[in-house]
Amino acid sequence: MLKYICHLGKKKSKGKNYKMKKKFLLFMLVSIVAVMTFSIMTSAASTEIIDYYDADTTNEISWTLYEDGKLEITGKCDMDDFAKEDAPWYIYNNYVLTVEIKKGVTGIGANAFYSLKKLKSVSIPETVEKIGMNAFYKCVNLSSITIPSEVTTISASAFSGCSSLTSVELPEGLERIRSNAFENCRKLSEITFYENLEAIGISAFAGCTMLDSVYFYGDAPSLGEDAFAKVSDDFTVYYIKGATGYTKGDWASFDSEAFKGKNNGSKDDSDDDIMYGDVNGDGKINDTDIRYLFNALGGKSSYAKFLKFDESDFNGDGQVTVADHIYLSRYLDGWKGYKPGVN
């Protein structure tokens, strides 16, 4: 009995095998954690491909649709023209959320993104020179678009029915806007056209029921029938002082007003004539000027010219910088001590 009790009280040695097992289990645990961490990081860093087409030559367009809804277009040529609902990715029309067209693609084909109902944003590179007919027809969730600087013509119905479109940035080199190009873009409230514009087609902006302000930096372009039919009751055409054609012919039916021309930093006008903060030159200082200045400072090509205007130099220190954007914002917010032309 005494031996039994003593045996129970004796501490048994765990030995070398136990220590080896412990080290092995620890190693396995660390390995599992490492594998799991790597898997999580990998899945976060890469998105699964849903479908794709890999072109054999650079004369074809390749495309990839990712799990997160991004459609990526690559190539060194124009995209093909398609029949309606015939683009290869159209079967995913309720899945595509964003389109990223890579540098090198030179043209967007007809019906390329026809009625992609969930599409919210599009990135178009400066290499694109043309936008085909119905290219973004009835992309009802698309909210903004920036047209690259090399595009000279926007084809018929290219953005027709984009009912959520609130912002359109046109390039300075744009020459023609074809019929129905922006028809029924019901949330579009203003748009700016530049000196090279020659023609606006039939019903190009018809049904843009919130459109109340259009700005022209050149002489009046030719105007197609019903180009601005069924727009806002407050619709007004603003044209740069000295431009011609806006009080004659078809243009005479619209309310119109000349706005002061910019001196492009030449100081030809006296300081008394400069309305510091009136970035877009419409004779008013408001949130639109903040947006124009923000885009200009942010490097958007269609707004670059505004960096040269004395009116953009809100604090009057002789240069247009981020400080002018801050001062202008604070002035409109009612901060004391922030006045136009005072630094």
Round to whole Å and give the CA distance between 72 and 66: 8
For 195-207, the DSSP string reads TT--EE-TTTTTT
Does the predicted TM-score (pTM) go above 0.75?
A: no
Neighbours of 62 (CB within 10 A): 16
Residue 181 and residue 188: Cα distance in Å, rounded? 13
**Residue 320 and residue 287 in contact, taking contact as beta carbons nearer than 8 Å:** no
- The answer to whether the CB of 280 falls within 8 A of the CB of 260 is no
- Phi then psi for residue 23, to 5 deg, are -65, -40
> Do 283 and 259 touch, CB atoms closer than 8 A?
yes
> Cα–Cα distance between 16 and 76 in angstroms, integer?
67
Give the position of tokens 């806006």.
246
Pair 256, 236: CB distance under 8 Å = yes
Buried residues in 37-53 as b, exposed as e (16+ CB within 10 A): eeeeeeeeeeeeebeee
DSSP state letter for 255: E
Q: Exposed (0-12), middle (13-18) or buried (19+): which is 83, by Cβ within 10 Å?
A: exposed
pLDDT tens, residue order, the chain (343 aa): 333 333 334 444 445 555 555 555 565 665 665 555 544 444 444 478 888 888 877 678 999 999 999 999 999 999 999 999 999 999 999 999 999 999 999 999 999 999 999 999 999 999 999 999 999 999 999 999 999 999 999 999 999 999 999 999 999 999 999 999 999 999 999 999 999 999 999 999 999 999 999 999 999 999 999 999 999 999 999 998 888 999 999 999 999 998 765 443 333 444 456 889 998 887 889 998 999 999 889 988 778 778 878 889 998 888 999 999 999 999 999 998 888 888 7
Please report where in the chains the tokens 């727009």 appear, as a residue: 231
Tokens of 166: 């609130």
Query: What is the DSSP-derived secondary structure letter of residue 305?
Result: G
